[in-house]
């Protein structure tokens, strides 16, 4: 609610500015690279039934455990934007960005100082970012501005890679989780500096905030001591069923869901498992540097 009020207030303010300034219409392109740090840490979702915990064992006895928290808002982004400047004070931009987060540990088990299980996740996403831009005036070659807008992911995934040692066997598993549609919020403060007639350098400090809910999951790799379990035929002891390989997420489970807990008698291993949807945070604060070319 606060975000919506802020955005409406900004639009009203920029509209008033638009009516008071001389027209200076122009198109421009921006190319930049960013690095973000996480803005808020939340507890990671469970990974294949394992809670987001770091657990340490000695001689088979649990001696410590702690929750693992974090955000996938830390990482690198590259982006291309096209902008249109209506007046000296008001403009609009449409950004196309590719983001790759840093890899984050989501589950970890240590025994006798050896990591026997570790699951790490990484987010990769392509998004659109429409925004309004308010220019604050030129000072000694610099032109500061503010920007507010929304983030609309158009493609993305959470890739979770799990390495484990169990009873002497070396296990590797990779899960890919695709998201439900979502919308996030962004706000930025930046400045440009003219290098030549049409070329300028720019820098922005940007805050973004959005969460993503899982839509479905697929096991894309699964090996046991080097044997590819996904290629084995039904009847083999290491065969991976459809229910193990695929998961559909929802906000509600009941006796009609294909879930072993809520519908044990009707569970069908030849169909994808139904499970509760969880969410991840991709909130962060970043610095973007790049070049702007005006037409």
**Domain residue extents for the chain:** 29-294
Instruction: Tell me the C-alpha to C-alpha distance, in Å, between residue 16 and each of 1, 87, 90, 178.
Output: 23, 12, 10, 42
Characterize the bridge pairing of strands 90-101 and 114-135: antiparallel
Please give the Cα distance from 22 to 24 (Å, whole number).
Answer: 6
- The tokens 């006895």 sit on which residue? 61
What pLDDT score was predicted for residue 19? Answer: 44
Contact by Cβ (8 Å): 175, 275: no
Higher pLDDT, 278 or 120: 120
Look at the block and give the residue holding tokens 């300028």. 200
pLDDT score for 24: 61
d(CA 52, CA 223) in angstroms, rounded, equals: 23
Supply the pLDDT for residue 40: 81
CATH code matching the domain that covers 29-294, chosen among 2.40.160.20, 3.10.180.10, 3.40.50.300, 3.40.50.150: 2.40.160.20
pLDDT for the residue numbered 110: 96
Q: Using a pLDDT cut of 90, give the percent of the chain over it.
A: 83
Record the tokens describing residue 100, joined without a space: 């790759």
Residue-level pLDDT at 25: 67
How many CB atoms sit inside 10 A of residue 78's CB?
15
What is the tens place of the pLDDT at every residue in 220-279? Answer: 999 999 999 999 999 999 999 999 999 999 999 999 999 999 999 999 999 999 999 988
| Contact status, residue 121 vs residue 156, Cβ threshold 8 Å | no
Please choose, from the candidates 181, 268, 166, the residue with its C-alpha nearest in 3D space to the C-alpha of residue 225: 166
- Spatial separation of the C-alpha atoms in residues 211 and 40, rounded to whole Å: 11
pTM of the entire predicted model: 0.87
pLDDT in tens, 173-191: 999 999 999 999 999 999 9
Express as a percent the part of the chain with pLDDT over 70: 92
Per-residue pLDDT at 160 exceeds 60: yes
144-159 residue pLDDT tens: 999 999 999 999 999 9
pLDDT reported for residue 142: 94
81 or 14: which carries more pLDDT confidence? 81
Residue 10's pLDDT is 47
Give the pLDDT of residue 197. Answer: 86
Q: What value does the mean pLDDT take over residues 30-34? A: 98
Cβ atoms 247, 273 nearer than 8 A: yes
Please state, in angstroms and rounded to a whole number, the distance separating the CA atoms of residues 185 and 208.
6
Residue 41: pLDDT band by 50, 70, 90 thresholds? confident
Q: pLDDT, tens digit, for every residue of 126-143?
A: 999 999 999 999 998 899
The more confidently predicted of residues 84 and 15 is 84
């Amino acid at each position: 609610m606060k975000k919506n009020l802020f955005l409406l207030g900004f639009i009203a303010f920029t509209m008033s500015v638009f009516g008071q300034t001389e027209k200076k219409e122009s198109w421009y392109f921006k190319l930049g690279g960013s690095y973000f740090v996480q803005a808020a840490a939340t507890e990671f979702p469970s990974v294949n039934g394992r809670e987001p915990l770091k657990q340490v064992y000695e001689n088979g006895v649990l001696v410590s455990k702690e929750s693992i928290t974090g955000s996938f808002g830390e990482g690198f982004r590259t982006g291309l934007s096209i902008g249109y400047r209506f007046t000296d004070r008001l403009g609009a931009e449409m950004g196309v960005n590719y983001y790759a987060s840093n890899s984050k540990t989501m589950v970890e088990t240590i025994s006798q100082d050896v990591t026997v299980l570790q699951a790490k996740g990484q987010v990769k996403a392509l998004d659109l970012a429409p925004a309004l831009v308010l220019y604050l005036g030129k000072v000694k070659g610099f032109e500061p501005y503010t920007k507010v807008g929304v983030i609309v992911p158009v493609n993305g995934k959470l890739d979770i890679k799990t390495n484990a040692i169990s009873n002497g066997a070396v296990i590797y598993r990779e899960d890919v989780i695709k998201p439900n549609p979502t919308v996030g919020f962004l706000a930025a403060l930046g400045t440009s500096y003219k290098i030549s007639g049409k070329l300028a350098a720019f820098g922005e400090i940007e805050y973004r905030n959005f969460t993503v809910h899982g839509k479905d999951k697929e096991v894309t790799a699964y090996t046991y001591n080097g044997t590819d379990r996904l290629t084995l035929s039904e009847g083999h002891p290491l065969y991976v069923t459809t229910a193990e390989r695929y998961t559909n997420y929802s906000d509600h489970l009941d006796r009609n869901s294909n879930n072993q807990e809520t519908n044990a008698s009707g569970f069908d291993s030849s169909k994808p498992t139904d499970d509760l949807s969880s969410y991840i945070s991709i909130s962060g604060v970043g610095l973007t540097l790049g070049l702007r070319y005006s037409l």
